[in-house]
Amino acid sequence: MTTGKQLFTTLESDGTLTVEIAESTFPAPTGNQVLVQMEAAPINPSDLAILTGAADFENAEYSPGKVIAKMPEPFNTGSKSRHGQRLPAGNEGAGTVIATGDSDMAKALMGQRVACVPGNAFSQYAIAEATMCLPLGEHSSEVGASSFVNPMTALGFVENAKMDGQKAILHTVGASNLGLMLNRICQEDGIALVNIVRKAEQAELLKSQGAEWVVNSSDDDFMDQLRKAIDATDAFYGFDPIGGGQAVDACFKAMEQVAMSKMTEYSRYGSDQAKRMFIYGRLDFGPTILTPSYGFGWTLSGWLLTPFLANAGMETVVRMRTRVLENLTTTFASSYKTKVNLEEMLTKNAILDYRQMKTGEKYLVVPNG
Amino acid sequence: MTTGKQLFTTLESDGTLTVEIAESTFPAPTGNQVLVQMEAAPINPSDLAILTGAADFENAEYSPGKVIAKMPEPFNTGSKSRHGQRLPAGNEGAGTVIATGDSDMAKALMGQRVACVPGNAFSQYAIAEATMCLPLGEHSSEVGASSFVNPMTALGFVENAKMDGQKAILHTVGASNLGLMLNRICQEDGIALVNIVRKAEQAELLKSQGAEWVVNSSDDDFMDQLRKAIDATDAFYGFDPIGGGQAVDACFKAMEQVAMSKMTEYSRYGSDQAKRMFIYGRLDFGPTILTPSYGFGWTLSGWLLTPFLANAGMETVVRMRTRVLENLTTTFASSYKTKVNLEEMLTKNAILDYRQMKTGEKYLVVPNG
């Protein structure tokens, strides 16, 4: 048994959210498990869903290693299924394997630095599956900490597009960490990418990294820019991490308008052009608004990495992971605004900053720092 | 050349919608075409999109065989691609073939009463494709007038569900003409059907026709009824003709709550249960509202008959049409509130009545009546 500090998040049925660092014991790993001493773990948007959600951290009660906040409605009722459960957090991270189960695969990782996906990465120790561990070789834990969620998601978009016979992708948050990665992958793979950004400096950043199609949603002629980019690339297939509001709606509209402009005859049902969008995040907790302005030839789905990988099959997953490892400091490099230890992670300044999920301002947690 | 009266609908860029009966000439049919003297044509919701849309018919200008109404925003701008075009209307109908093209298939239909899908069925004559004509034998044109849109759509839902490995379907407007048809098909094919209705008498009607699962959205415990029905049937797959508002949202919510209730472990991403809804109509012109309360395992698409049939292939289409013809007065029977000729169709009383698309109050147009 190993003992160490770990983060827990608990939402009570009355809407009280407690996030705290507590002592925890970790059993000896068995079978194909390994015990990892965690050295670095990023705070991803997907972690924030469980870590902070929509709770009020402006008016929360802060003490060392602990914060108590109120979860407003309808989010508290919407989270009913987690009420009363003390949950770990932190999808991914990197560290050193200090004990292993009996399997050959697990034993081969003993003493190695690995990236892993334990689900409790905000912790000094974590039990991880050997099959999901990526040996980092000479790379540091900081370099390897974000080698799963963003790289595999961005690669997953491109894999998914190729499976569906697409030659172009639209991405509604072009300048995010994941967006910049996607921009590099698409250039390597010859996939056209239409990037939507909100600010001129984000457009500059993407263009400086070779992006050909960048449209700014803050510009007056945004829809016109978007139609031109879709027309030039045939990007009728896109990914959106915002979720709420009309980001997806604007994309469907522009896609349909491009398709309609190519039709020779009017159809009350809209164009025959299939339009496909995926929502893969919830930067905006508001409802998704879809207006009746693009006929019936559209499909909108939620998109998650785990079911995509399960569906893609082990061969594809291994090929993707190999590509990530071979390009960890180039195509798949992540950057961080700052490093915090577990206690610093729960201070008011830190929470109010990282929960904004600002472009280029990701936090890295160093649980043993 | 044959001359006869035909309905035309024209929307100008300033939002003026003119619907009028005018003399039209019909060329001699060629190749695989036939010329049909139209005897009966239903006013389907899919016809109303082009016939009345969201225009203001309370304050329209009525004269014999003509009505001029204003199309409000955003619907006028949303219909930009039809501005200035004089369009025929009427998807389907039935009548007698009075001339044919040279092909053997066309010639074989000479003198026969057929159901057809000409796109200008609100007309005394129409050119139709022989491949899409269904010889009605002893059936009257009134019996055969609605043998395409509703029967093939309802059958299409069941075919689509079977292709996707589903054993149950949810339908959000259970007591519509199409809904009652779907209820009969599902009973014949052993597919469980969850019907949503708005009124107690609609629930009674469906139950009197053997429906097992009917839930009333006007009841206080609607969501509870819906969850119970989904739980009992595994209906994670549904069709919605409303489009606007939160009908689809309620279905996804109930589906996810049923799936979550069966999970042993909490997941921040929701259940693994795939949830699928299709919007196949626009009874409500408002935006579709999707709340972030059912994770990422959902897909929403538009659904239209024509692309479905094209995708299903000719063999399936022939099988479906044969089934419709063999059961035209039973499974696929339609009923009408009243009959109108072309001029009566454009009176204020008629338009304000049929545009409401009330359950069981469909109009039949008799263009030569």
Provide the shortest C-alpha distance from residue B155 to chain A (in Å). 19
Which among A268, A299, A304 is the nearest to B49, CB-wise? Answer: A268
Confidence at residue B80, expressed as pLDDT on a 0 to 100 scale: 83
Instruction: Return the residue of A nearest to B47 by Cα.
Output: A268
State whether residue A9 is helix, strand or coil: strand
Q: How far apart are CA A42 and CA A173, in angstroms?
A: 19
Which among B244, B285, B299 is the nearest to A299, CB-wise? Answer: B299
**A97, A129 contact by CB (below 8 A):** no
**A174, A186 contact by CB (below 8 A):** no
A279 touching B (Cβ < 8 Å):
yes
Which among B266, B280, B289 is the nearest to A287, CB-wise? Answer: B289
Band of pLDDT at residue B360, cut at 50, 70 and 90: confident
B141-175: per-residue pLDDT in tens? 999 999 999 999 999 999 999 999 999 999 999 99
Confidence at residue A269, expressed as pLDDT on a 0 to 100 scale: 79
Confidence at residue A26, expressed as pLDDT on a 0 to 100 scale: 96
Q: Do A289 and B287 lie within an 8 Å CB cutoff? A: yes
Q: Do A268 and B81 lie within an 8 Å CB cutoff? A: no
Helices A149-163 and A314-326: angle between axes, nearest 10 degrees: 130
Q: How far apart are CA A115 and CA A147, in angstroms?
A: 7
User: In this structure, which amino acid lies at residue B181?
Assistant: M
B305-349: per-residue pLDDT in tens? 989 999 999 899 999 999 999 999 999 999 899 999 999 999 999
Interface test with B, best of A81, A91, A236 (most B CBs within 10 A): A81
Question: What are the E-state strand segments in A102-236?
Answer: 113-116, 125-129, 134-135, 168-171, 192-197, 213-216
In the stretch 316-345 of chain A, residues with CB closer than 8 A to chain B read: none
Provide the shortest C-alpha distance from residue B300 to chain A (in Å). 5
Q: Do A295 and B302 lie within an 8 Å CB cutoff? A: yes
Q: Which residues of B touch A50 (CB under 8 A)?
A: 268
A302 touching B (Cβ < 8 Å):
yes
Q: Which residues of B touch A282 (CB under 8 A)?
A: 292
Statement: residue A235 has pLDDT above 90: yes
- Of A158, B174, B21, give the one whose Cα is nearest residue B183: B174
A84 touching B (Cβ < 8 Å):
no
Statement: residue A275 has pLDDT above 90: yes
Provide the shortest C-alpha distance from residue A139 to chain B (in Å). 31
- Residue found by looking up tokens 């398709």 in the block: A259
Statement: residue A266 has pLDDT above 80: no
Q: Do B269 and A306 lie within an 8 Å CB cutoff? A: yes
Provide the shortest C-alpha distance from residue A301 to chain B (in Å). 4
Provide the shortest C-alpha distance from residue B186 to chain A (in Å). 24
Q: Do A307 and B272 lie within an 8 Å CB cutoff? A: yes
What rounded mean pLDDT belongs to chain B? 95
Provide the shortest C-alpha distance from residue B46 to chain A (in Å). 9
Q: How far apart are CA B233 and CA A101, in angstroms?
A: 43
Q: Which residues of A touch B260 (CB under 8 A)?
A: 81
Instruction: Return the residue of A nearest to B279 by Cα.
Output: A296
Describe the strand order of the beta sheet including B2-11 as a list of residue ranges: B56-63, B66-70, B16-26, B2-11, B86-88
Distance (Å) of CA A269 to CA B207, B217, B307: 34, 29, 11
A93-112: per-residue pLDDT in tens? 999 999 999 999 999 999 99
**B30, B102 contact by CB (below 8 A):** yes
Interface test with A, best of B83, B296, B308 (most A CBs within 10 A): B296
Of chain A, the percentage scoring pLDDT greater than 90 comes to 88
Q: How many CB pairs under 8 A join A and B?
A: 99
Q: Which residues of B touch A253 (CB under 8 A)?
A: none
Transcribe B278-324 into DSSP letters.
Answer: EE---SEEEEEEE-S-STT-EEEEE--HHHHHHHH-HHHHHHHHHHH
Which among B82, B293, B301 is the nearest to A298, CB-wise? Answer: B301
* ipTM of the complex in this document: 0.89
Statement: residue A263 has pLDDT above 90: no
B223 touching A (Cβ < 8 Å):
no
Q: Do A304 and B287 lie within an 8 Å CB cutoff? A: no
Instruction: Return the residue of B nearest to A51 by Cα.
Output: B268
A85 touching B (Cβ < 8 Å):
yes
Statement: residue A367 has pLDDT above 80: yes
Statement: residue A115 has pLDDT above 90: yes
Of chain A, the percentage scoring pLDDT greater than 70 comes to 100
Instruction: Return the residue of A nearest to B281 by Cα.
Output: A296
Q: Which residues of A touch B263 (CB under 8 A)?
A: 81
Confidence at residue A289, expressed as pLDDT on a 0 to 100 scale: 98
Q: Do B297 and A292 lie within an 8 Å CB cutoff? A: no
Which among A263, A292, A302 is the nearest to B282, CB-wise? Answer: A292
B258-314: per-residue pLDDT in tens? 999 988 877 877 888 999 999 999 888 899 999 998 999 999 999 999 899 999 998
Instruction: Return the residue of A nearest to B287 by Cα.
Output: A291
A342: number of Cβ within 10 Å: 24
Q: Which residues of A touch B288 (CB under 8 A)?
A: 289-292
Q: How far apart are CA B292 and CA A291, in angstroms?
A: 17
Q: How far apart are CA B83 and CA B89, in angstroms?
A: 15
Q: How far apart are CA A4 and CA A267, in angstroms?
A: 65
Band of pLDDT at residue A301, cut at 50, 70 and 90: very high
Confidence at residue B170, expressed as pLDDT on a 0 to 100 scale: 98
**B354, B186 contact by CB (below 8 A):** no
